[in-house]
Amino acid sequence: MILRVRKPESPVNWRKKVISPVHTWRAPFIGEHALEALELHVIEQKTKSESYGPYCSIVQSSGMGKSRLLDEFSRSNFLIPINLRKPGTEALFDKTRLVVTDMAKSRSERITRFRDFMTDGQTMGSVGEKRRKFYDEIVVTVREAMKMSEATPQLVQGALDELIECLGPRQTGGNAKFPDVFAVFDGAAALTEVRTSSNRSYFIELCSVLHDLGNVSFFAFFLSTTSTISQFAMPKGINNSHKVELRKLKSSLPFSDLGFDHLMHNRKIFDKFKTIDDVTSTECIMYMGRPL
């Protein structure tokens, strides 16, 4: 028997694979309709009376453009990327307000500069130093606060209101029902896997907090690659939240309209590519799928 050992990939090739996806984020965003669909989905989930809370999930395979879509969304909306840590949401809003206060004078400038602040120095493998320090300081604040008292919805809502006031007025002509502040939990599958002492997942506990906040100008996104949609949009028979059962509420609907094959618009099968050889050629395949 002859064993064939695969030759290790050269550091140069490995580096290209890591750097290439990072560089694609510098290219112009493709998929404006997906962005519009996401905004409409947010408004729908916020205004539905039977909706359990101000959130939705986006569960798609890797490379479908979840993170890129939210990054583009953050160019015109105030979005806080969440590091999954222990409770302390009011500390998150307080810290964010302190950071953005001196960044700029207008709302649009603060949105842009906060996005730059949170993405500065990030790579495929880790977040940047500024973002890491941002959350490390929040953890310290939370640990000190938890020694004295427990966070309440009123404290969180008060901190959120102060952050919204700090951001400044909206531009005229916008939808009044559209939230002022957003948060995104990337890799949210971890929230569904860990259980509390009451045997409920962290995701259910977090959604319960979002529900208790009431009609606040806030919305959360839960992004996941490895989960199933039912983990985030659970039917009543599976969701063991008492509020869902007693108040006849429904889990927020997931968002899936990311779009696909955007670059194939002018390269349609049976129009430009007519044979099997044409369809399987690099010239055709390289334009399929979801551009990062």
10-residue mean pLDDT series, the chain (292 residues): 46 50 69 88 88 86 82 93 60 86 89 91 79 85 71 81 90 80 87 75 83 86 76 60 60 81 78 86 79 56
Tokens standing for residue 256: 């899936």
- Residue 276 within any structural domain of the chain: no
The reported pLDDT for the residue numbered 236 is 57
In this structure, the dihedral spanned by the alpha carbons of residues 43, 47, 50 and 52, taken in order and rounded to 10 degrees, is: 60
Q: Is residue 275 part of a domain?
A: no
Task: Say if 15 falls within a structural domain.
Answer: no
From CA 80, how far away is CA 93, in angstroms rounded? 9
The number of folded domains in the chain is: 1
* In a domain? residue 20: no
Q: Take residue 144 and report the two structure tokens written for it.
A: 């000190």
The rounded distance, in Å, linking the Cα atoms of 18 and 113 is 26
| Contacts within 8 Å (CB) and 24+ apart, 273-282 | none
Residue 96, domain member (yes or no)? yes
**Domain around 251:** 29-43+53-259
What is the CATH number for 142?
3.40.50
pTM: 0.78
Answer yes or no: is 107 within a domain: yes
Residue 290 lies in a domain: no
Nearest partner of 42 among 77, 92, 87, judged by Cα: 77
- What pLDDT sits at residue 149? 64
CA 288, 40, 85, 103 dihedral sign is positive
Residue 129 lies in a domain: yes
Residue 109 is predicted with a pLDDT of: 92
